[in-house]
Chains A and B, each alone.
Chain A
Amino acid sequence: MASMENIKKENDYILEVRNLKKYYPLSRFSLGKSRAYVKAVDDVSFKIKRGTTMGLVGESGCGKTTVGRSILRLHDITGGQVIFDGQDLAKIPPSKLRKMRPQMQMIFQDPYSSLSPRMPVGEIIGEAVKEHKIVPKSEYRSHILKVMRDCGLQPQYFYRYPHEFSGGQRQRISIARAVALKPKFIICDEPLSALDVSIQAQIINLMKDLQERYGYTYLFISHDLSVVEYISDTIGVMYLGSMVEIGDKKRIFDNPMHPYTKALLSAVPISDPDVKMNRIILSGDIPSPVNPPSGCKFRTRCQHCMDICSREVPKLKEYEEGHMVACHLYSQD
């Protein structure tokens, strides 16, 4: 049913992020006006269609997680707008935001530290259901048990504590916790990176099943490109706090345009040993986000660096339909 709705509303965006910025001041007590900032997220914009999955990729420290947390306003943002279902989350007062929280949930990276060790599983999943009165009191227990069944958790786990479970089961608990609130939108912050490969497949299939059944919208943050390729509809590539390329999955994988995306894709291992990989090896390290290079942030590691790259910041421009890239290579013609 949910998918029917999606077809009807072709241009129905559940989330739109405009010019999102999150700067961390380096020192609290620095004197003078020129304080140094870590620009964790610097002017990021994107949209997600209802019922689809957007994958957000990039190497560690590029600001993917900060984007996720900024959207849910788990910390204050420096600038920009986060429009969720027509409302700017960055502006609404905290009390109202709290009431909206069930609609947007998050699954965290580490299933070991994201569950309170002193709460039994039933309470972890059900606490916020009670708080926000998601279901009538009489249906509370059956709702929790249904969610647990949906997520592959047996009903007798209800009274057990998180430490009695394996990583995969704990991540199922995290998912059940998020799903129990009947959200519209779920941010998955590297939900697989702490798990074994065999468990990863189970969890990602579980997430896909749930999406098909309940029509969730996902923002899937990961550095694992093969996982992102499997689950996403659109993909955004981040480098040092900025979005360098964004587009439909097929277009990104078939025709990567930004030199950084090309390098990333070339690094995905191929399971056939006879195929020779043409890996693009990036030279140098990721620059410090305190003093990012002028102009294009990627220019210090780019093979195609030109004069203009150090002078002008490349803007994210639509190159073909549903495919945007921020690179001077394509803006000249």
Chain B
Amino acid sequence: MLKYILKRLGLAFIILIGASILIYMLSMLMPADFIDTQTAAALQSGAMTMDDVMRLKELYGLADKSFGGIMKSYFSWLKSALSGDLGFSFLYQKPVTKVLSEYIWLSFMIAFISYILEIAIGIPMGIKASVNQYSAYDYTVSVFAMMGTALPSFFLSALLLNVFAIKLRIFPLQGLTTATKIFDKNAYIQIFLDKAWHLVLPITVLTLLNAGYIMKFTRTNMLEVLNSDYIRTARAKGLSEKTVTYKHAFRNTMIPLVTTLSGMIPGLFGGAMITETVFAIPGIGYMALRATLQGDIPFIMGYNMFLAVLTVLGMLISDLMYMVVDPRVKLS
């Protein structure tokens, strides 16, 4: 078991190195780098010359875009990254690790709440739909689930904003706090309620987008189990339909469900780039999008490597959970 985990972690390290090389190359080869976007206006107006720009690029380590130059700067990045230092963000003027640790918690909170809601909505609906396959309930729920998974998040966000923020004015349009209100520093409850009020719509969007997926996933796996022989055995034993559904069918559906859902947990730290941006919520996804648009290479690297670590971790957790929930699986 320990040997298996160590082996997987060793493998993960190699994957991460490969991923970092790819990401580094791609971000260095972006047509306009951080200095270009920052100095474009000054260059146009003649306040800066091309020489000034080149000097700045030299300073930021962006001047040499040959293969050798990129590799050289990559290895210096790798060296400091391995010692835990992800560099200094061009845009935010702070160490990348500090930006990450500051902003992931809001994103995680939003993602975690909607994760719980997705499970609470998706799984019972999936079970009910599979037990009543081809019923009106099944069709209705399936159509909505399909819509949820098919809708782009920016579209759904815009739709909800239009209805609830602009037409009905129930929820705020953007941000995390109400700009026009000034709260006393100690009015924790009011501050909390104000933030919660701002987060209702983004959490709704994330929940609607993923609950459908979980519902579909539960339904498909339940149906597979419900059609197996041992469910017929359970019925022939004279067990109640409830016991058959939950104890026999759902217990076996748990195997794919638990592995998939537990594998999603690390990803909750990654932030929801588009939704956060539409609602202008200062989470990690929003910060990352801004940094990416500006060509903030240290931050792009730091954020993407963080995502890569989360993905690898998610896969590992999912495989380990497989062993926990399925008595047939022995990992070696």
Q: Given the known inter-chain contacts A101-B238, A127-B239, please indicate yes or no for A108 contacting B233, CB distance below 8 A.
A: yes
18 more CB-based (< 8 A) A-B contacts, given A116-B248, A118-B255: A28-B134, A69-B232, A72-B236, A74-B235, A74-B236, A105-B236, A105-B237, A113-B229, A114-B230, A116-B234, A117-B326, A117-B327, A131-B243, A161-B327, A163-B328, A177-B237, A181-B237, A181-B238
Chain A 185-200 interface mask (CB, 8 Å, partner B; 1/0):
0000000000000000
Chain B interface residue count, Cβ-Cβ cutoff 8 angstroms: 21
A123 to B66 alpha-carbon distance, docked (Å): 68
The reply on A106 being an interface residue by CB < 8 A is yes
Q: Determine if A131 and B232 form an interchain contact, defined as CB atoms under 8 angstroms apart.
A: no
Give A116's nearest chain B residue, CB to CB. Answer: B230
Q: In the complex, which of the residues B230, B232, B235, B326 has the most CB atoms of chain A within 10 Å of its own CB atom? A: B230
- What B residues does A101 contact at CB under 8 A? 236-238
Q: Determine if B228 and A128 form an interchain contact, defined as CB atoms under 8 angstroms apart.
A: no
Chain A 112-136 interface mask (CB, 8 Å, partner B; 1/0):
0111111000000001100110000
Q: Given the known inter-chain contacts A72-B236, A131-B239, A181-B237, please indicate yes or no for A117 contacting B328, CB distance below 8 A.
A: yes
Give A129's nearest chain B residue, CB to CB. Answer: B237
In the assembled complex, the CB of A15 is this many whole angstroms from the nearest CB of chain B, namely 16
Give B236's nearest chain A residue, CB to CB. Answer: A106
- What A residues does B248 contact at CB under 8 A? 116
The reply on B252 being an interface residue by CB < 8 A is yes
The contact size tier of chain A is 20 to 34
The reply on B79 being an interface residue by CB < 8 A is no
Within B295-332, which residues are at the interface with A (CB < 8 Å)? Answer: 326-328
- What A residues does B327 contact at CB under 8 A? 117-118, 161, 163
Within A142-192, which residues are at the interface with B (CB < 8 Å)? Answer: 161, 163, 174, 177, 181
Q: Given the known inter-chain contacts A28-B134, A117-B328, please indicate yes or no for A102 contacting B233, CB distance below 8 A.
A: no
The reply on A304 being an interface residue by CB < 8 A is no
Which residues of B are in contact with A by a Cβ distance under 8 Å? 134, 228-230, 232-240, 243, 248, 251-252, 255, 326-328
- What B residues does A115 contact at CB under 8 A? 230, 233
A114 to B228 alpha-carbon distance, docked (Å): 7
A117 to B229 alpha-carbon distance, docked (Å): 11
Q: Given the known inter-chain contacts A108-B229, A118-B251, please indicate yes or no for A128 contacting B328, CB distance below 8 A.
A: no
Q: In the complex, which of the residues B234, B237, B239 has the most CB atoms of chain A within 10 Å of its own CB atom? A: B237
Chain A 70-98 interface mask (CB, 8 Å, partner B; 1/0):
00101000000000000000000000001
The reply on A59 being an interface residue by CB < 8 A is no
Q: In the complex, which of the residues A74, A116, A132 has the most CB atoms of chain B within 10 Å of its own CB atom? A: A116
Show 28 residue pairs from A and B whose CB-CB distance is below 8 angstroms, ordered by the A residue: A69-B232, A98-B238, A98-B239, A98-B240, A101-B237, A101-B238, A102-B238, A105-B236, A114-B229, A115-B230, A115-B233, A116-B233, A116-B248, A116-B251, A117-B230, A117-B326, A117-B327, A118-B326, A127-B234, A128-B237, A131-B239, A131-B240, A131-B243, A132-B238, A161-B327, A161-B328, A177-B237, A181-B238
Q: Determine if B237 and A131 form an interchain contact, defined as CB atoms under 8 angstroms apart.
A: yes
A74 to B233 alpha-carbon distance, docked (Å): 9
A56 to B233 alpha-carbon distance, docked (Å): 21
